[in-house]
Amino acid sequence: MVDITRHAEALAVLADSRYIPPPVRQDAPEGTLAWLRARASRFSTGQAHAGRRRLLEDLLAALDPDTLRDAARDLTLERDGRWEGVPVTVLGHALGFRDPGLASAARTAAPGYLSGEEKPEADAAVRDLFAGRGTAEDAVARVTLLLQAHDATEGLIRNALREARPGDDVARALERTLRLDPPLTVTRRLDRETGAEVRIDLVRANRDGEPHLTFGAGVRPCPADRHATALATGVLTAVLTR
């Protein structure tokens, strides 16, 4: 295991296509969480990654961050500050999901989407998210956006709220959290040539570089940094200025 803690080295690894995300199983039954992971941009490489990522970018380009921000603020106010589930509900509505069980299904499936842990209830949640949408690429892209968004965005908001006080400047609180207390602290790669595992410590890398690496960098940075920041801004505005 190679441990990367310096900003320059982290950038170099993230920009080099020789370092790939650790491979995921490709033989899971259709409609399961493991099947979804095998089709997600996040765990793909090469041409498959490029094509899947482009589809996500096109879907995200159709969503206006300011509209997401305002919708997240309004829904948080409507719920008297109970903000959990708000980011994924707002994003889901913007992506055409209307199911009232959307937030609970996303919450159930999101942890295993990142970790690879397989559980029957996560598979059931994935089935609910796909219900009535078929299993073609477009549906896969929309569901993966929800599952990618869920834990990271709620983690960002939770971390920001741990420090922030009512009346604090929301943009400043968020910027501080993004740099010092990111929701995703580590990302992993496999060296395609040597098979070595690489662990990139984003918190430590952030400490010795100018731009933070909280949204990743290089070949596969987060394509939704503006959307995530907008959703978090909306929720925090509602909670901190209520």
Q: Is residue 153 at the binding interface for ligand HEM, with CB under 6 A as the rule?
A: yes
Binding residue count for ligand HEM, defined by CB under 6 A:
26
Q: For ligand HEM, give the closer residue by CB, 167 or 199.
A: 199
Q: Is residue 228 at the binding interface for ligand HEM, with CB under 6 A as the rule?
A: yes
* H helix runs in 28-186, sequence order: 33-39, 46-61, 65-78, 86-94, 102-115, 120-130, 137-163, 170-180
State the nearest-atom distance from the C-beta of 93 to ligand HEM, in Å: 13
- Of residues 224, 235, 236, 239, which one binds ligand HEM by CB under 6 A? 224
> Residue 233 contacts by C-beta under 8 Å, 6 or more apart in sequence?
69, 72, 170, 171, 174
State the nearest-atom distance from the C-beta of 3 to ligand HEM, in Å: 15
- Of residues 220, 235, 239, 240, which one binds ligand HEM by CB under 6 A? 220
Whole-angstrom distance, CA of residue 27 vs CA of residue 34: 8
CA distances 188 to 38, 64, 76, 86, 138, Å, are 17, 31, 34, 29, 27
- Token pair belonging to 140: 């896969």
Question: Which residues 174-193 are close enough to bind ligand HEM by CB under 6 A?
Answer: 182-184, 187
State the nearest-atom distance from the C-beta of 120 to ligand HEM, in Å: 25
Q: Is residue 53 at the binding interface for ligand HEM, with CB under 6 A as the rule?
A: yes
Q: Is residue 133 at the binding interface for ligand HEM, with CB under 6 A as the rule?
A: no
Q: Which stretch binds ligand HEM (CB under 6 A): 96-104, 109-117, 122-130, 216-224?
A: 216-224
Q: What angle do CA 77, 79, 81 make, to 5 degrees?
A: 60
Do residues 110 and 151 make contact, with C-beta atoms less than 8 angstroms apart?
Answer: yes
Scored b (16 or more CB within 10 A) or e, 136-147 reads: eeeebbbbbbbb
Q: For ligand HEM, give the closer residue by CB, 202 or 238.
A: 202
Q: State the residues that interact with ligand HEM by CB under 6 A.
A: 41-42, 53, 56, 91, 145, 148-149, 152-153, 156, 182-184, 187, 214-216, 220-224, 227-228, 231
